[in-house]
């Protein structure tokens, strides 16, 4: 899987984190089968590694399924064993080098210019601009000055309107958790279909 080209093509990565492993798995499958096929399963969710493994078994080897909140080399190894095709970190940690050593693409969390430069030097495939909720648009515009060629993926507090603006400002993609998933990964699927349609429309407009 070419992770960067997938980000450039899909423009949207869903983030699934929940307290109910069965509901989280159902959410992953629903997202993918509804056309949002770039999905990160956060390791901070309940039984996340089994969610990844079961989703991989059901979706096959080509699914754009990754592990998020990856902090340590052990996390990387366990995520890879479960079938994650890429890793996502909240910051520049030892997990970046461990991911690269295994040949896994890695989306590395950064917020400041120094952190962006450090993430790139560590081997980031793309930079996760995090948290990108309040002030994220201005921050993205500012960072693209000294880093015009860096593929930025804003994450954190990104709703449909914010996502649209971030993509228009040059983000390669956006990562979206609760504004898209809601509480589906906890078992409450109310409104999920409508939110999926809204975010698919956003990604389509930006393509």
Catalytic residues: 40, 128
Residue at token pair 């295994």: 102
Q: Widest CA span of the chain, in angstroms?
A: 44
Residue at token pair 């996760």: 128
Say if residue 7 is exposed, middle or buried (CB neighbours under 10 Å; 0-12, 13-18, 19+).
Answer: buried
């Amino acid at each position: 899987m070419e992770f960067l080209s997938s980000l450039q093509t899909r423009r949207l990565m869903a983030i699934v984190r929940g307290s109910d492993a069965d509901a989280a798995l159902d959410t992953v499958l629903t997202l993918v089968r509804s056309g949002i096929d770039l999905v990160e399963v956060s390791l901070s969710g309940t039984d996340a590694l089994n969610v990844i493994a079961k989703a991989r078994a059901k979706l096959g080897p080509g699914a754009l399924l990754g592990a998020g909140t990856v902090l340590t080399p052990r996390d990387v190894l366990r995520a890879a064993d479960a079938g994650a095709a890429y890793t996502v970190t909240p910051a520049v940690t030892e997990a970046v080098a461990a991911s690269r050593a295994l040949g896994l693409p890695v989306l590395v969390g950064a917020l400041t210019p120094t952190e962006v430069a450090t993430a790139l030097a560590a081997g980031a495939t793309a930079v996760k601009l995090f948290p990108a909720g309040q002030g994220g648009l201005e921050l993205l515009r500012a960072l693209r000055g000294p880093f015009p060629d860096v593929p930025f993926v804003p994450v954190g507090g990104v709703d449909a309107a914010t996502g649209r603006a971030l993509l228009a400002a040059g983000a390669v993609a956006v990562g979206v958790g609760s504004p898209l998933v809601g509480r589906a990964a906890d078992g409450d699927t109310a409104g999920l279909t409508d939110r999926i349609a809204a975010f698919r429309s956003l990604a389509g407009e930006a393509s």
